[in-house]
Every structure is written in C-alpha cells, then in structure tokens.
Amino acid sequence: MLETTGRMFLGTTSRVIVTTILAFVIAVNGSRRLGAFDIVFDPSNYSQNLLTAARTLEQINNQIRSLQNQAQSLLNQSKNLASLPTSVVGQLTSTIDQMNTLIGQAKNLSFDVQKTQQDFERIYPRQYATAVSSDKMVQDATSRWDNSYDGLKQSLTLQSAIVGSLDQDGQTLRTLMANSSAAAGSLQAQQSGNELLALQIKQSLQAQALMATQARADTLRAAEQQASSAAAKERFNRFIGDGHAYTSGK
C-alpha cells in the first residue's frame, strides 16, 4: 500500500510540473505582443528559466524516489515483524503433557528418588531375617510381581502413545516445512525454525521417556528375581532347620 501511494504521488506531481512548464512556455510566447508594443524575447533568460524548472522537477523526483524507498523499507520491516499465521506449539505441548501424564501414572514404585529408595529397600531386601514371617515374604512376593506387571504395562502404554503420534508428527512436519517455505520475513522464518526444533525436542523427550519406562520395567523384573531368590533361600533354610531332625539316633 505504501509503495502504491508513492507511485501515485510521483505520477501526479510529475504531471503538475510538466503542466506548469508548458503554461510558462505558452505564457512567454503568447505575451510577446501586448497592446501596441512588441516585447523582446530573451532566449538566454528563457533557457535559464526552463533549466531552473527542469532542475526543480529533478529535485522533486529525487524526493519522491526517496519517499518510495522509505515506503519500501517500512514495508520490508512490516514483513520482518509479521508472525506466523498458524502455530503448532500448542499441539506439541499437548503431546508432551500427555506423555508426562502417562509417566506420572506409575504405580507402586514411582519415579520419585526418595520414595523409590524407601520402597525398594522394603520390598526388595538383600536377605530375609529369621524373624520375618512366611506370610510377610508371600506378601512381598505379591507386591514385587505387581510392580513388574505395572512396569511392563506402563512401558507398553507409552510405546503405543508414541507410535500413535507418528502420523501426527508427520503432518506437523509437513505444516512446518510449508510455513518455512512461505515465510514472508525474518520473524516468520525464525519462528518456523524454532517450531521445527521444538518438534525434534519433543520426539527426543518421547524417546527418553520410552527408554526410562522400558529400563524401569527391566529393572523391576531383575529385582523381583533377585528378591525371590533371597526369599527362596530363607524358606529353604527354615525348611532344613539346624539339621538335627535328620540326624540318625544311636
């Protein structure tokens, strides 16, 4: 709009100046005869006046071109400050929130450091003391099995969520590439680059979350086997006793 206005101004001003010069020339030629007296035509003065008018027109043209350049500069600045018409930040944030919610649904042994240490020492002991009842060992074994089951279930659930978002990520990538190609200014190009980076970070976070839940499930299974071995050893010792019951009497 600024560029169009500058061009209109240039065309109108030029026509006005040309019209003024022609009127000046006609007035000079037409006034050579006034009443009964002849007016002497001075070519030098006429040329000087015409040159002055031409220089004035050139100055005005330069001013108009300067205004046009300023208008174009303002137009470029407005493009550089134009933000993207669409954004996928909300969509990426929603997916990350969903992933965090799935991770937060960890049952029994959570991802909290202090609570995990306390629960692990209680449910997965290195060895069982003789004072621990058989019922307590059975209860701990049941808790360990539940933890392993929930760990595997959470890992599979997160895997399904990530795989389910692959099609959406593909569409998001196509949208971001289209926005990047059609970027009108530096701000739009920068925003497109930032959102492409956000998509990459989101996928990296998903991969890290999947690795964490998978490693948690594997660790729970290994810890279950270790604790079960300790419990089995204690039960065996209790079954054998001190060996006197199996000593043949004399």
Residue 56 CB partners (closer than 8 Å, separation 6+): 17
pLDDT digits (tens, 9 = 90+) for 84-143: 667 777 878 888 888 788 877 776 666 777 887 888 888 888 888 878 888 888 888 888
Confidence of residue 15 (pLDDT cuts 50, 70, 90): low
Say whether pLDDT at 10 is over 50: no
- CA-wise closest residue to 204 among 190, 90, 193, 212: 212
State the average pLDDT over residues 39-56. Answer: 77
- Percentage, residues of the chain above pLDDT 90: 0
Q: What is the pLDDT of residues 213-226, one digit of tens each?
A: 888 889 888 888 88
Q: How far is Cα of residue 230 from the mean position of the Cα atoms in its chain? A: 50
Q: How much is the pTM?
A: 0.54
